[in-house]
Amino acid sequence: MKSSKSWKRWYLETLALNGSRMIYQGGDSSGPIRVVDLGPYRALYFDSPSCQGRVHRHKPWIPASDYITSMVFGATLAQGHQLKRALVLGLGPGAVVHSLRKMSPELKIDTVEVRSTVIEVAKERFEVPDDELIEHICSDAAKFFKSYKDSGDEPYDYVIVDLAISEGPSPLVTQPAFWTALATLVAPQGVICINLWRGKEHLFDWTIRQMTKTFNQDPLCVEHKHIENIIAFSSPQPLEASHVKGGLKRLVSLGDELELNVRGGLEFLLRQMMELTPESTSESQAELQADSQTEHDPSLNDQSEALNSSPRDKSTDAQPVEGDTAEQEVRVDPYEPSSPPSAVEPTS
């Protein structure tokens, strides 16, 4: 598979200079697939500097980014009733699958990914679970919707939409027919979560409009501005303050089990929810503050802060933190690339 010159140069001028290691290069008819190790993290790339996701290599269930914490929060929203079945549209490196498995070991999870090579890379390079409780389905969304309709299977309690191309969300998520079909496979008390990232503003607007029209309510949106992500939630039932409060309390209780960075992703999520539903989050905020006094691995906080620094910030660019050189973290974020340089072949 021929490598993109601009991606190659970006990699050599950013991640490679800071100790990253390319452990896999491959691809298929849809384009290149690359896997990069950087400190304790392993990241997936296609054919642009936009990272498709990352996991902690030794503890893959720990949300490696704030937006994964938000997606885990969606599962707690759906736990107002027993959480039995989850659907993930778009596998990537399987970060959220790792977190869901740790959170609910008996949860039945179906993943749908159009690229068979991505499924194999997720299994082999990111150690995504592959057992009797997890089925990885190689299919596009339209074919999967039809097969689900014909199967007579039970609806899903939690549905995650994480469909992306190299530079943003799939245009499919703006289509009315997509949301009509999606509404048929979520349980009456279930929750739908969508990850919208690095797209054009009109894609956000169109998608939010379709969600509002489909479920007759404005979706609950969490913004991750530093990586240009919006995580949006909706449900066939009204998402009220009581659901948010219950979900936040369950997420706080999961903090130790998932080793959530309470000074990072979880606290950020609570602040966002405080703005949206202030009456529902004050109690959870107090619980978080109490929980943050407990013992947590400080190295994970340091690593999170390092990876949340943009390479455009010259004060932190290429500055490794102290520690074991084998696991040394650097202040470069695979999610925060600079603008790709012009397509010039790097010289040796």
Where exactly are the structural domains of the chain? Answer: 5-60+298-327, 66-240
Residues 215-234: b if buried by 16+ CB within 10 A, e if exposed: beeebbbbbbeebbbbbbbb
- Bridge-based pairing of strands 134-138 and 164-165 is unpaired
Query: 331 near 317, Cβ under 8 Å?
Result: yes
Q: Counting beta carbons within 10 angstroms of the beta carbon of residue 130, is it exposed (0 to 12), middle (13 to 18) or buried (19 or more)?
A: middle
Res 306: pLDDT: 31
- Distance between terminal CA atoms of the chain? 20
Segments of the chain scoring below 50 in pLDDT: 1-2, 281, 288, 291-348
Res 105: pLDDT: 92
Give the CA angle between residues 152, 86, 89 to the nearest 5°: 90
Query: 32 near 25, Cβ under 8 Å?
Result: yes
Res 197: pLDDT: 72
Model confidence over 240-296: pLDDT tens digits?
877 787 887 787 777 777 777 655 556 666 676 666 665 554 555 555 455 444 444
Res 76: pLDDT: 87
Res 124: pLDDT: 97
Model confidence over 291-324: pLDDT tens digits?
444 444 444 333 333 333 333 232 223 333 333 3
Res 246: pLDDT: 80
**Could you tell me which of 268, 270, 258 has the C-alpha nearest to residue 308?**
268
Query: 230 near 222, Cβ under 8 Å?
Result: yes
Res 45: pLDDT: 92
CATH topology of domain 66-240: Rossmann fold (3.40.50)
**Could you tell me which of 229, 153, 231 has the C-alpha nearest to residue 191?**
231
Res 345: pLDDT: 32
Res 210: pLDDT: 92
Res 241: pLDDT: 78
Res 346: pLDDT: 31
Res 127: pLDDT: 96
